[in-house]
Structure 1
Amino acid sequence: MERRNLLRAAVLGGSAAALGGSLWRGAAYAAPAQPGTGPYGALRSPDANGIRLPNGFTSRVIARSGQRVSGTSYTWHNAPDGGACYTDGSGWIYVSNSEINPSGGASAIKFSSTGTITSAYRILSGTRTNCAGGKTPWNTWLSCEEVSLGYVYETDPWGVKAAVRRDAMGRFKHEAAAADPVRKVIYLTEDESNGRFYRFVPTTWGDLSSGTLQVMIAGSATSGSFTWKNVPDPDGSPTSTRTQVSGSKSFSGGEGCHYADDTVWFTTKGDNRVWQLNLTNNTYELAYDDSLVTSGTAPLTGVDNITGSSSGDLFVAEDGGNMEICVITPDDVIAPFLRIDGHSGSEITGPAFSPDGRRLYFSSQRGTSGSSSGGITYEVTGPFRS
């Protein structure tokens, strides 16, 4: 499915100049998403958990930092961040990173088929500032260190196998990862003001112990064509990976990353953008830019983690802003899906859908306290469209 495959009139007064020259000759690029009425309608008043949701949706707290996860003896980690869900028999598992330094790592919560919590446990220890990450098709969790010369760790959501550091995936300020099973690569974002967008090409798909790290090559415009070049020294020392390859495209603070249907989306917090790479024709464009909203107030600021649903909707979480998760529909309408009240010193992290698509998990990293020890992890249930 192509989300943006129709040439539409530019919403910016028909001017390519308004896009900084991003409408290049011979290519058809859609205008970035604009505010409108979302598929779930208006947000209601805050529920008992302080969450504003559309009609038909409910929330519950599933874990709090520093407290035992209900029904278990496991104490939930501080500063919950990136997350993903995995099928476990008739139930599922939600994995969550811990963005603290030292002793970040990751934990998991296991659910029965009815959504009852059955266990919680640690799956990664002894790492630093584990921010986002990504799920692999072979059901491991890639936990990424958001520190200078950070690593990617491949972990077992069931907590049975020991986590493995994947040096070949490069040393830089890792943020998120997204697997592309068609091209058999892993896309990687870098949280630097002049970060790059990478892909890792494993020697053998399903085995991340060796392979080639590549960086995206493109012009300075907000749309165009792109290619890939090998990073000569993935170790990043003494020369950082982002400065090794001439012509590599700079991005302002890479954050979340999501792959589906021959497309990869990733976010950049420095300019509040959602980027879209169309992998069938090797072109890129803006799916959203808060500075290009043509009427009213931009609904999405503090652009951060991103995930998608089976309907093709993208769900983008805010780091700050007004603590919303916004939805971007396949027809390029953006609207708030939920808002958390009273968490002004926090950010929303780790959005991920249960395998059946009926439950959305996420965290308020610092909760109402504004401290990493105040994190709260939630579940929202309701009539998500499929």
Structure 2
Amino acid sequence: MKKPMSLRLRLTLLCAALLTLCCLLLTLTNNLSAVQMAHSVQAVPLLPAQTAEADAHTDFPMASLEISETVRQARGIFHLQSLLAMAAVLAAGLFLIYRLVGKVLAPLDELAGQIRGRTAEDLERPLAVPDSGDEVAELARAFNQMSGRLNQVFVMQKNFSHNAAHEFRTPLAVLKTRIGLFRKKRDFRPEAVQDFLQIMEGEVDRLSAMVSSLLELTNLEQMERGERLSAEQLIQGAADELALPVAERQISVLVDVSPCTLTGNERLLHRAVFNLLENAVKYSPTGGSVHVAGRQADGVFRMEVTDQGPGIPTELRQQIFEPFFRVDDARSRQQGGAGLGLALVRAIAEVHGGAVRVEEAPSGGSRFLLELPMGPGRPDA
């Protein structure tokens, strides 16, 4: 493969072409001016000859020939000197251009060397930004911003892989252990077989739920989001689905939603609202209450879900929306779930052009705020 021409050489050749054109034009102009001047000088001795006396007429042709020869020699010398001067100017100009272009591009070469030596492990270390304030400094700042975002993605991917492996390993370990015990005991009584199958089915359902949630996270962009739906019916429908766990734990769910119409995917929005309500019910104490409010303001629908749970530390309020993250790992496993509910809420909100966040409730516990635009969000994929 032919090696591409360097930027320094390309700039040098471009400047050389412009310099050559300018020198040729200047040399041509000077030579034309010199020729015209020579003709004028050559014509000067002939003017007195038209008024001179007759006895001196025979002397002027020889003088005119001598002047013409002298002018012709001077013209040739001038042309040669012009060409030599042009060649010297071109050579000096090309050398200076090459050196100056190299000096100007030196910060870019240094920046390229630093970028070439970067790996995925040191993306968090920023490049040194030169104080020149030019395009090279802007390029260094842009690369630092890009590497910072890439580093965040790599960290999230690493955490996701670690957490996903940990989550999948747990039910698989349970399945393997139960199968080993069943094979060792060889207890084929109907009751023992029924218990074994029930445990197997529960762990398989858990794995299936995690796989389904992961598939939803990756396929959100491909789902259409142009349906018109009622926010009040959406939230009330999600609350009705939680009637059984709410009744078992004697939790009161208070819904106060103003009538308004949303645009989006009904199944996805229902899943986001349901996950928020389920999370609030799950972490509220027995006999507690969950308050759900929804209001329209400035073209945005804001939904608030307030619980009376233990709350979330300030430093963890962004991480809880990452896949498989748990504030209290032991308690979360005891209450079920795969740690993907809030991650789905954030993904669904963002794909609709909205956002979700959590803050401390005034009366204790947590308050989740889901914001969705009233009109169409991001365009359908």
Q: Which has the higher contact order (CA 8 A, sep 6+)?
A: 1
Q: What TM-score bracket applies, with the shorter chain setting the length?
A: under 0.3
Tell me which protein shows more helix as a share of its residues.
Answer: 2
TM-score (norm 1): 0.20
